[in-house]
Structures are given as structure tokens and as C-alpha cells.
Amino acid sequence: MTTFFSAFSAKKIWIADLLLLLVAAVWGTSYGVAKQALVFYPVLGFVALRFSMTFLLLLPSLRRLAQPQGRAALYAGLPLGLILLAIFVCETFGLAQTKASNAAFLISLFVVFTPFVEWLVMARRPSGSAFLMAFVSLFGTWLLTYGGSSSFNLGDGLMLAAALLRAFMVCMTKRLTFNKDMSTLALTAVQSGVVGLGCFLIAGLFMQSGLPPLPSAAGFWIGTFYLVLFCTIFAFFAQNYGVRQGNPTRVSLLMGSEPLFGALFVSLWLGEQLSLLSWIGGGLIVAATLWATLPHSIFFARLAK
């Protein structure tokens, strides 16, 4: 019986790992798609529309709010939704002011931040190899921004803030859902509702003329539905599921291939050209995110302690 449960648990972890890699792939494409959508509609309105549509599609899952599973999802989803709101405001405003390829690379720094945030939030000290990963990734970021432009602009800074918030989000998801029986779909629905409503409120407070009418361009709606179905519903469900099966650092490492998919997508789809230094910097970031998944990283971590 013990062997059966061990095999079942290992299978759940394998499924979670596969889902997280798929999340990295679809999120890697999201920067190019979102950048095109922002040509048609303001940032806050676009994020509000994306997450309100997600909330409406997941609304049936909230019928369990009267049950313990639903209430647990509500209590965890409200604070996590506020963190997610901050992430997407930073990401989407940052994306509007920097290249999509830069955004995809810079956001990957959440992989480096996660062990340190996990240490702060969950009192788990990172291994010595985490410090090497941080150095390699930061050096890669310097090469990336130096190769892409002569200055570090506001968009790049917002993407770095989003990366730090992502690390905090993963750790808080683990902390708020650990050993709790709750519906992952309901958790995703509550988070989406908070983000959608939050963006509408922010737009109402800071946009004097309000949001413009929704665009009629087919390209805008195709991109929006893609982001809702794959980059929001699937991605956040898979991320919530993956965090509940593993630890935050492992989750962030598995999703560290996101910038690779992002760079390939924007190069092929948007035609953005990356300099040699940018490619080297991006390669260093990807190498750092994958380092801990290699077998020799365990040996290296022991030497580094």
C-alpha cells in the first residue's frame, strides 16, 4: 500500500512538472501577443478585460463558496489576487515601455528571487548555489539591457518589480494553500475576479476620461481570447496546482525556460532583432534558471555550503 501511494504521489509531481513547463511555453508567447493587443487598448482596460472574462468563464466553480473547500479558496484567493493585481499592472505597463524580448528575459529573474523570498517568507535558507545563480542571472541581465539599449528604462524597472512580486506570489501561494483542502479552480476564479475588479477601480480613479469603447479589430480579440484561455485560465490553474505539489523554488526553476520561449516567439512573430550581447545575457539567465535542475547541482550545492 505504501508503494502504491508513493507511486501515486510521484505521478502527481510528474504531472505538475509537465504542466509548469507548458505554462512557461505559453507565458513565453504572451509578451508578444499582449504587446500587439496594447496597440488597440489602454493597459488597465486590457488587463481588466482579460481577467474579467476569465472570472466569468470560471464563475461556475464558485458555487462551492458555501462549502469548506470554497471558503478556503476565497480566504487564500483574496490576498493572492491583490498580489497578482500588482504583478500584472507592473508587467503590462512595463511591457508597453520596453521590448517584448527584454520583458520576457527580465521577468525570468523571479527564478533567482524565489529562493531568497522563500527564506524570508517560509524560513528556508537557500543553498550556496542560489548565490551563484543570482550572480550569473544578474550579470546576464546587465548584458541584456546593455546590449538592447544604452540605458535602463522605466519599463525594465517595472518588469524587475514584477519579477520580485512573482517570487512573492509563488511563496505566498504555498504558504496560504499548504495542507488545505480547497478547489484550485475556485482559487483561480477568486484571483481573477480581484484583478479584474481592481483594474476597473484603478482606471476609474486615475483615467479622467474613462476607458474607451472596446476595439473591433479581429486581431485584438483573437489575441485576447488566447491570453484568457491559455495564459490565464490554464496557466494560473497549473501554477496553483504545481505550487501545491512542490516547493516554490522548484516551481520557479521549472518555469525558468519562459524567456527562451519568449525570445524565440518575438523574434519569429514580431521580428525583433536581438544583439549578440543580448543573446549572451539571455543565455546566461536561462542557464542559471536551469542549473538547479541538473543532477550535478546537488553536488555543487554541498561544496558551496
Cβ atoms of residues 279 and 102 within 8 Å: no
**pTM value > 0.95:** no
Cβ atoms of residues 199 and 48 within 8 Å: yes
| Confidence band for 302, pLDDT divided at 50, 70 and 90 | very low
Q: What is the mean pLDDT of residues 72-80?
A: 92
Cβ atoms of residues 186 and 69 within 8 Å: yes
User: Strand, helix or coil at 92?
Assistant: helix
Cell 476569465 belongs to which residue? 54
| pLDDT of amino acid 297 | 45
pLDDT digit string, tens, across residues 234-248: 988 888 888 877 677
| CA dist., res. 173 & res. 76, Å (int) | 8
Q: Which ranges of the chain would DSSP assign to H, the alpha helix?
A: 2-37, 43-58, 68-96, 100-106, 110-122, 128-148, 154-177, 184-206, 218-226, 235-245, 248-254, 258-269, 276-291, 296-304
- pLDDT of 62 above 60: yes
| pLDDT of amino acid 305 | 46
Q: DSSP secondary-structure letter at 97? A: T
- pLDDT of 38 above 70: yes
Residue 100: all three cell numbers together: 517584448
- pLDDT of 6 above 60: no
| CA dist., res. 222 & res. 219, Å (int) | 5
- pLDDT of 10 above 60: no
- pLDDT of 116 above 70: yes
| pLDDT of amino acid 169 | 92
| pLDDT of amino acid 143 | 76
| Confidence band for 260, pLDDT divided at 50, 70 and 90 | low
